[in-house]
Structure 1
Amino acid sequence: MRGIQWLGLIFFTTVIFLGGCTGGGGGGDGDSSQLLINMNQKITPLATPLSTFETLNPGLSDKPDWLAGYAVSTVVSPDSKTMLVLTSGYNRVFTATPSTPYPWYTPDSNEYVFIYDISTGRPIKKQVVQVPNTFHGIVFDPSGKAFYVAGGVNDNIHIFTMISDGKWGETSSPLSMMHPAGNGLGVSQPAPGGAVSVNTQIAVKPCAAGLAISNDGKTLVAANFYNDSITIFRGGLNHWSAGIERDLRPGKSGGTSGTAGGEYPFWVAVKGSETNGTAKAFVSSIRDREVVVVDLNGAPSVTARIAVKGKPNKMTLNKDQSLLYLVEDQTDTVDVINTATNTIVETIQVIAPPSAMPDSLAKFRGANSNSATLSPDEKQLYVTNGNLNCVAVVTLGGANGGSQVTGLIPTGWYPNSVSFSSDGNWVYVVNGKSATGANPSFRYSNGPPSYPNGFLTNQYNPQRTRAGLQSFPRPTSAQIATLTAQVASNNRFSYTDSGNDMATMAAVRDKVKHVIFIIKENRTYDQVLGDLEVGNGDPDLAQFGRRYTPNQHNLARQFVTLDNFYATAEVSNDGWCWTTAGRAPDVVEHTVSVTYAGRGLGLDTEGANRSVNIAQDLATRKAFNPLTPDDQDLLPGQNNSAAPDGPPPTYEADKGYLWDAALRKGLTIRNYGFFVDTTRYNIPQSDPNFVPLDPNPFSKSLTVAFPTSPSLTTLTDRYFRGFDNAYPDYYRFKEWEREFDLYEANDGLPTLSLVRFMHDHTGNYNTAIEGVNTPELQQADNDYAVGLLVEKISKSPKYKDNTLIFVIEDDAQDGGDHMDSHRTIAFVAGAYVKQGQVVSSQYNSVNFLRTIEEVLGLLPMNLNDALARPMADIFTTTPNPWSFTAVPAQILNGTTLPPFLDKSANKLARLDIPKSTRDAKYWAKVTKGMNFATEDQFDFAAYNRILWKGLMGDKPYPIERSGKNLRGNRKELLARYDRSLKGAIKQTSLK
């Protein structure tokens, strides 16, 4: 039963993964299930008979209990006795005595290769080796005497060989691809303590991804993920020559310039050998949905491009190399490619067997299929479905096709790779993620020199995400049937909307004609509403409580308090996918933890790819941003590597967002700040291309918003500034208000308004205008903007009773929460929202999105929102009278924002103006070197520590509380909290 006990511990305690678990279970052992509370799914990795599940402990001498995160690839040695497991995740290990400035990492803050003996079936860990950076690529040399690991942002390939003591070691220098930079544009990441700058040629770093080697071991090929090329090394082990690069883009490889192709190459398979002149590489291009075929003999050349419908991911060759099995995200398919003719001979849908899923659901996509492995007898193909936490068992049909999914095997959270033992009797699956549970125990710290520091535990969301290795005997046909049913139950495939829910939503839909959708940034429930009089909040964790967020507190009091609401995402990078589309593509899942660990890559989820505005043609790109290089082959076209596809029946490529669904229905839309190119906000203000921080850009016809979504190009308010911590949300509200007044006068309010109020992210303390330059002030500014918008609607006779306002955080990565690190705040306001109630139904970002869809009469976009319950509990079918008055936090009186300049007209001016706990000079100093140019383009774990220490002083951080129901006895809790505030946090100035 140890495995069952462990599964409970990782959810209900603040200690994650106390050790590896070993346990057995019959299919569907309910006691071994674990709820993924932010996904509304279960995982049952011990459901397969005789299965084991172990965490990946690298055995660090100074942190023996530390566990690695995000396992991505497995590979088996030629003699089938050894299996390698590669991580490519956050994996930053913090020191207990941080230096200044950050980062505060130990030398063990690397990626890992776990080496297992699988000769007897069950894996036995023999060794762990460290690699500075990785991105999925790993391959064995055919001799079995070496293996190669792609070095990710280090742009190299590490070579590990068997050394004299029977262990593996790196005895030679890595092979280098010699790239000065990747192909892109944007604000560069500064060195610690350095200044942010823009370089139009060196804006993104390179990244070595997939690796493949010829059967004779003489040709090694690496995919250059951010250089749109491959590098070929020749000679073999101990004799590798310098690499030869082959650009995969048509305009750089003999084709038509300005044509998309070959970009974001991720995985490689090599057929044949150069020895007999038959070597060719197959390279998956995620962005351009094609497999590029490269002749490797002599001077490498692109000889074919195989167009596919999905986003091509990992792939595998059969033994005689006649067939290539290519897994595709978005379509959730495997294409079988004839390697002689370069043609697709079969397409296999791999979500589930027909018996496991209703026909009405089977048409949707969203499984995030991401890898495939042939069984040794080549009769079956095992495909990992990351988002469904399962392996699809595909029975292959042979030369005449007819392959089909015949069963599903439950896994841990987000499987990424499968391997088999030599006889095919054992299966090994690596999972990238784990449930994080409550996170009140991190103790943020650090500041300027001589500032007292606390112990740095590893409790940040990406830090808490741990990898796992699942092993089990290959299930029999009878067992597969039971396991398939378990996967269907885990993912709620049989879910249907209740009659009551549908009746409620139909009534609301009949009366509500307008939705205003506001997205904010990063806060947890306890961090903001922990001090609310009702609900399950922990006031000890309220960093931005009622003193700074009176309007959000009033929204919760007046309408519904959602105290069991969870952000589906981990961080902003996937948060904008989940919050606007109800899914995160597999490439996003793969890049999140790498990016947030500072291991290269970028934030591609808001329309720009590598900071290039791919929504526009080259001329418009340059008009929007004159810093754009004059290169027609720099990500040409509008293909978006990180965008989800649309729903059935057309499955429009890259059109899977809420606004795309609204446009398909013919609804009117206006965009305020979603998917905006912010590059020009973050260059030196002396640069003529800098976009000024103008409070009223409309008055000067100053364009400040440059849309990055093709769908939103003509629907975006060009005077509404996008993500920029230096700019107050108050001015964003005023621009929205300017247009709203016009709509009200002309009866033209769009059906769907997208509004971004982002200042609760905080940052840019040295450049912030109007004195809104501390975390408390920026949070209060954000709160006031939200309150003003709600007040504006409440005072509109035309729109107050037919408009709903939805407010959500894109993620909950910043701050502690005593229930779960994903728990966040969400608000809904309007005449058809219940009043004065606590609604503790378990909801998440996808439920929120599904609710908006129901109000607007939109069909689901993918599997996730199709299976999400609308939030019917919060609504009433008869309208309530309502009004709302925005209340500025008193601290805003110290700013120079317009409402606070005329003190004679401001009643609050008669009160003492509260001051920020620390001044802007302090915050600028302790965050020096952090890049606030876009969401989280720095180590947010370090920032979280700085925030707690700066805001809460020496107040001890609770370390014992976890998962408690604090809805009762609120008066006593709040009284104790109020007492603790008095004198606990004093104004501190830097010396």
Structure 2
Amino acid sequence: MRKRQRAAALVTVIAGAVLVGGGAAFGVAGNFDHPGPRPDGTAMTPVGWQVTPAGSTHPAGSFPANAVLSPDDRAVLVPGVIRNAHSRQTVDVLDSRTGALLQEVELNPDDATKREGVAPGLVFSHDGRSVYLATANKNSVLGFDWDPAARRLTPTRTLALPDGSYPQMVTTSPDDKTVYAVGQYARKLFAVDVATGATTSAPTGAYPFGVALSGDGHTAYVSNQADKTVSVFDVNATSLVPKAPIAVGTHPNHLLGDPARHRVFVSNGDSDQISVIDTRTNAVQHTIALSPYRGAGAGTSPLGMALTSDGKTLYVANAGNNDVAVVNTGSGGDFGHVNGLIPTAWYPTGVQVTKDGSRLLIADGKGLGTGSNKGSATLADPTNHPWIEDLVKGMLQVVPTPSAAQLQRYSRQVELNNDTTSSGAVRGYGGGAPATIIPRHPGQGSPIKHVIYVVKENRTYDQILGDLGKGNGDPSLAIFGKDVTPNQHALASKFATLDNFYVNGEVSQDGWDWATQGNSNPYNQLGTHQGYDGNGSEYDSSGYLDSPVTAGGADPGKAFLWDRAAAAGQSFRHYGMHSLPADWFGPKNQVTCASGEYCAYEPLLNQNTDHHYPWFDMEITDQSRVAEWKKEFDQYVAKDNLPSWQFVDLPRDHTYGWYAGGSTAKAMVADNDYALGQLVSTVSHSKYWKDTAIFVVEDDGQDGPDHVDAHRSPALVISPYTQRGIVDSHFYNQTSALRTMELLMGLGPLSQYDAAAVPMIWTFGDRANLTPYEALVPRQSLTDRNPANSTSVMTPQAIQGAPDQVDEHALNEEIWRSVRGPHANVPPAQHHVFPAQGQSGTADH
């Protein structure tokens, strides 16, 4: 049942449900869909997949990371891991029949300095009188009394864990005297005596997450997300004795115990499988495949699970595919068969089934998406718009258990929603497809032999190109308009205007993975929403760059675009994308970094890194970054050995606050723009221009408003084969860009998402225009400084010493304050040519 056939774009009505197939009818002029909620309760995600949640839907906090039923099935509890409207994290108590909100518990509301952390770990005691919640960054487990009659939580106790524990999942002993908590960053399982608070611990594997007990309570199992293992412990009260670990799939996360049948189910988040452990032998008994088709890349991302009382049906929340899989786990010969799929909203994290099996409760982390975040922001008052993470609202679905016939209809709906294909054919070709150099089949070949992939930071389309004068822009939001970003305006106008392009993630933590591997795996998705924005997650120490756990795919060593290029024998050079300064490296890292250099965590990437190319440091101009890049580029020209790929980070459009004497936001964005113009000018005046394509995207769009969707972002495709001067409003996103680069260079897809993405077919023609590009000097001064009376919650020391601890929401507000300040009179824009040795050409005015 998991096999999905590609569906034609269509709208059909089945049993009262609207079936939306694959989004836009690609190639049909005028059909330019975009992400976000729709009036009928459906939506499209930024990756281009539809969501049509079954059953009834109800608000359920901000990014609910789990769903837990009360023992009497009358209430469902969901921990919301993002702050609510009051900047607090919550546990919502909802009616399990109607979805009505019964109670919202704000955690630590008197703490104005650091929000209480919330993890997916939430469990009822066996006697049904208590609830325990893991707090992640607060290094504790919170205890609540549960009133089943009133269906209310009352905070009663805090079970402290050592600093740096970062607990994720919890469970209780059969006698309820011991709470077991997984310390993800401590790499330990903790056993806490409820009466005394006394704690013991034992080491686990890397990045532990889930925990479950055997039926007798004497064996504990812990999933290790970076080790492909489940740790095993003999347990006696608070005594923990390690035993041999069990090998499972890639990046295991949630565990579900089935004591009556001596089983533990393991969700393998990046091999897209369920491992079934026999607790009598501590061996994997079965492996259940959840991929949508044979040979599919990563992307299903199974998370929470639930089992019917008779043990015959397992429900799995497939976060990446936006469905719940219905799996046969009875004793018949078709054990592990996926009977069908239930459509959900965006990113289901948890599922529960009532004891009588009559209904399912599904928590959806991202609901129906964000839509526009313009608010009342304008050029005159640009501060008044919601931040993107504040727009991520979760949902609870209450779904009557479907009959076999209804499940078949639901399954068809999921196939249409995702429109994945097992054939390997490139989507988008068909009636109306133009003459283009984009291959129709992987490996077909193209005139492009070199790709330069540039990733910048945090801007929306309207912020930069809203005043372009062509395409779908809102000039009232263009705070970094033509005077500040003349090169991006000229490149978008002279080459192709892409006014319907979207980033896939919300912020930098998940955005960078989407931009470089076409996926953001379960570890990174939870970490993004749980701990980003200065809330104490490992992102704050750049642990998110530790590729063994963030790399999505059954083989983490092949997850990123540069991994795929190297495996195909293609050369590449890396400039700053995953680089850190030497003093951030230590004994635990896989590489050694010399003082004054910038290095990458992954050995392969580090071997191909320019160690003199500066990382994220905002005090360093992007012009100096491009000067370092150009020094190497000129050498490649001279030696005729330009790498097939170049991965270039130009980060300074991120900006960094409004402190006295610091560079203004406009000056930093102008510097970034001028650097990009110099890069393009250099390439276009070189002998490599004829067979090079330059792709420019933002990692995310979090620091600005957009009148279409908070994910809409500027993107540029610059090559001799780009269709000059067109407005291409077809729906594209970061995975479309990846798919396009892969096809041009003869590579296969990285994940299910770029495999299903429509490449940028209409952006490219089939004839070369070799006219070079001349860089423009911005009218905006590149050296403007904030006035002496500027005040900031940021400091240069905080940002340069630990940049990822910055409160991005506060930074966003400060950008707007900075933009509204005065700036010096500036000269008109000037053309600036950066010719390569021995090259000349006609200026592109």
State the TM-score, normalizing by the size of structure 1: 0.73
8 A Cα contact 2:657 2:814, kept in partner: no
8 A Cα contact 1:526 1:542, kept in partner: yes
Whole-Å separation in 2 of the counterparts to 1:934 and 1:856: 37
Match of 1:243 in 2: 199
8 A Cα contact 1:430 1:467, kept in partner: yes
1:491-522 residue CA offsets vs partner (Å, 9 max, x unmatched): 01258531657963139943111111111001
Match of 1:251 in 2: none
Segments of structure 1 that go 5 or more residues without pairing to the other structure are 1-23, 57-67, 94-107, 183-205, 249-261, 446-452, 615-638, 646-650, 684-690, 692-700, 896-914, 955-991
Letter in 2 for 1:348: I
CA apart distance, 1:878: 1.1
CA apart distance, 1:949: 2.6
Match of 1:284 in 2: 223
1:473 pairs with 2:400: yes
Whole-Å separation in 2 of the counterparts to 1:264 and 1:458: 36
Whole-Å separation in 2 of the counterparts to 1:221 and 1:478: 42
8 A Cα contact 1:28 1:482, kept in partner: no
Relative to structure 1, the CA distance from residue 927 to residue 466 in structure 2 (aligned partners, 3 Å threshold; closer, same or farther) is farther
Whole-Å separation in 2 of the counterparts to 1:41 and 1:727: 39
Relative to structure 1, the CA distance from residue 69 to residue 513 in structure 2 (aligned partners, 3 Å threshold; closer, same or farther) is same
Aligned partner of residue 890 in structure 1, secondary structure = coil
Match of 1:189 in 2: none
1:86-127 residue CA offsets vs partner (Å, 9 max, x unmatched): 2112x153xxxxxxxxxxxxxx43222222344xx4444432
Match of 2:267 in 1: 327
Relative to structure 1, the CA distance from residue 653 to residue 593 in structure 2 (aligned partners, 3 Å threshold; closer, same or farther) is closer
1:42 pairs with 2:1: no
Match of 1:420 in 2: 353
Of the three residues 52, 56, 59, the one matched with 1:52 is 56
CA apart distance, 1:462: 0.6
1:880-932 residue CA offsets vs partner (Å, 9 max, x unmatched): 13111111213346x4xxxxxxxxxxxxxxxxxxx56x437626577678635
Of the three residues 522, 539, 546, the one matched with 2:458 is 522
Whole-Å separation in 2 of the counterparts to 1:527 and 1:927: 25
1:367 pairs with 2:323: no
Of the three residues 652, 675, 682, the one matched with 2:578 is 675
Whole-Å separation in 2 of the counterparts to 1:117 and 1:819: 34
Segments of structure 2 that go 5 or more residues without pairing to the other structure are 1-13, 21-38, 108-115, 587-592, 823-845
Aligned partner of residue 221 in structure 2, secondary structure = strand
1:264 pairs with 2:207: yes
Match of 2:787 in 1: 919
CA apart distance, 1:369: 1.0
Of the three residues 78, 87, 91, the one matched with 2:71 is 78
Relative to structure 1, the CA distance from residue 164 to residue 577 in structure 2 (aligned partners, 3 Å threshold; closer, same or farther) is closer
8 A Cα contact 2:656 2:815, kept in partner: no
Match of 1:175 in 2: 159
Aligned partner of residue 753 in structure 2, secondary structure = helix
Letter in 2 for 1:223: V
CA apart distance, 1:721: 0.9
Give the structure with the larger strand fraction: 2
Q: 31-40 or 815-824: which moved more?
A: 31-40
After TM superposition, list the pairs within 5 Å mapping 1:828-867 onto structure 2. 828-867=717-756
Match of 2:418 in 1: 491
8 A Cα contact 1:830 1:882, kept in partner: no
Letter in 1 for 2:77: L
Work out the number of aligned pairs and report it.
767
Relative to structure 1, the CA distance from residue 231 to residue 761 in structure 2 (aligned partners, 3 Å threshold; closer, same or farther) is same
CA apart distance, 1:33: 5.8
CA apart distance, 1:144: 0.7
1:584-639 residue CA offsets vs partner (Å, 9 max, x unmatched): 001111111222243321328xxx8637x86xxxxxxxxxxxxxxxxxxxxxxxx6
After TM superposition, list the pairs within 5 Å mapping 1:622-701 onto structure 2. 640-645=548-553, 651-678=554-581, 680=583
CA apart distance, 1:457: 6.6
Match of 1:972 in 2: none
1:469-492 residue CA offsets vs partner (Å, 9 max, x unmatched): 000110000011111010000001
8 A Cα contact 1:135 1:209, kept in partner: yes
Aligned partner of residue 739 in structure 1, secondary structure = helix
8 A Cα contact 1:382 1:418, kept in partner: yes
1:154 pairs with 2:129: no
Whole-Å separation in 2 of the counterparts to 1:496 and 1:327: 30
Relative to structure 1, the CA distance from residue 842 to residue 714 in structure 2 (aligned partners, 3 Å threshold; closer, same or farther) is same
1:760-806 residue CA offsets vs partner (Å, 9 max, x unmatched): 01127769xxx98221111111111100011111111x211111111
Whole-Å separation in 1 of the counterparts to 2:789 and 2:101: 50
Letter in 2 for 1:222: A
Aligned partner of residue 713 in structure 1, secondary structure = helix
Whole-Å separation in 2 of the counterparts to 1:316 and 1:856: 43
Letter in 1 for 2:668: Q
8 A Cα contact 2:575 2:609, kept in partner: yes
1:139 pairs with 2:120: no
Match of 1:197 in 2: none
Aligned partner of residue 402 in structure 2, secondary structure = coil
Q: 125-134 or 331-340: which moved more?
A: 125-134
Aligned partner of residue 594 in structure 1, secondary structure = helix
1:622-673 residue CA offsets vs partner (Å, 9 max, x unmatched): xxxxxxxxxxxxxxxxx6211112xxxxx43342111111111100101111
CA apart distance, 1:336: 0.4
Whole-Å separation in 1 of the counterparts to 2:664 and 2:719: 32
CA apart distance, 1:364: 2.6
CA apart distance, 1:528: 0.6
CA apart distance, 1:934: 6.1
Match of 1:952 in 2: 820
Match of 1:403 in 2: 336
1:881 pairs with 2:801: no
Whole-Å separation in 1 of the counterparts to 2:405 and 2:74: 29
Whole-Å separation in 2 of the counterparts to 1:791 and 1:855: 22
1:459 pairs with 2:393: no
8 A Cα contact 1:580 1:657, kept in partner: yes
Whole-Å separation in 1 of the counterparts to 2:330 and 2:708: 48
1:123-166 residue CA offsets vs partner (Å, 9 max, x unmatched): 44432222232111100011111111112211111111146994
Whole-Å separation in 1 of the counterparts to 2:219 and 2:381: 55
Q: 757-766 or 382-391: which moved more?
A: 757-766
8 A Cα contact 2:557 2:563, kept in partner: no
Whole-Å separation in 1 of the counterparts to 2:225 and 2:446: 42
CA apart distance, 1:939: 2.0
Of the three residues 105, 124, 128, the one matched with 1:129 is 105
Whole-Å separation in 2 of the counterparts to 1:671 and 1:888: 27
CA apart distance, 1:297: 1.8
Letter in 2 for 1:879: A
Relative to structure 1, the CA distance from residue 456 to residue 816 in structure 2 (aligned partners, 3 Å threshold; closer, same or farther) is closer
Cα RMSD, aligned residues only? 2.9
Relative to structure 1, the CA distance from residue 28 to residue 547 in structure 2 (aligned partners, 3 Å threshold; closer, same or farther) is same
Whole-Å separation in 2 of the counterparts to 1:501 and 1:336: 49
1:338-384 residue CA offsets vs partner (Å, 9 max, x unmatched): 011110010001234xxxx5x5xx53321111121111221111001
Match of 2:805 in 1: 937
Match of 1:259 in 2: none
8 A Cα contact 1:576 1:810, kept in partner: yes
Match of 1:431 in 2: 364
Of the three residues 372, 375, 400, the one matched with 1:441 is 375
8 A Cα contact 1:265 1:285, kept in partner: yes
8 A Cα contact 1:774 1:923, kept in partner: no
1:741 pairs with 2:745: no
1:775 pairs with 2:751: no
CA apart distance, 1:936: 4.8
The sequence identity of aligned pairs, in percent, is: 32
Relative to structure 1, the CA distance from residue 124 to residue 570 in structure 2 (aligned partners, 3 Å threshold; closer, same or farther) is closer
8 A Cα contact 1:702 1:719, kept in partner: no
Relative to structure 1, the CA distance from residue 272 to residue 164 in structure 2 (aligned partners, 3 Å threshold; closer, same or farther) is closer
Relative to structure 1, the CA distance from residue 339 to residue 682 in structure 2 (aligned partners, 3 Å threshold; closer, same or farther) is closer
Letter in 1 for 2:412: A
Whole-Å separation in 2 of the counterparts to 1:713 and 1:372: 38
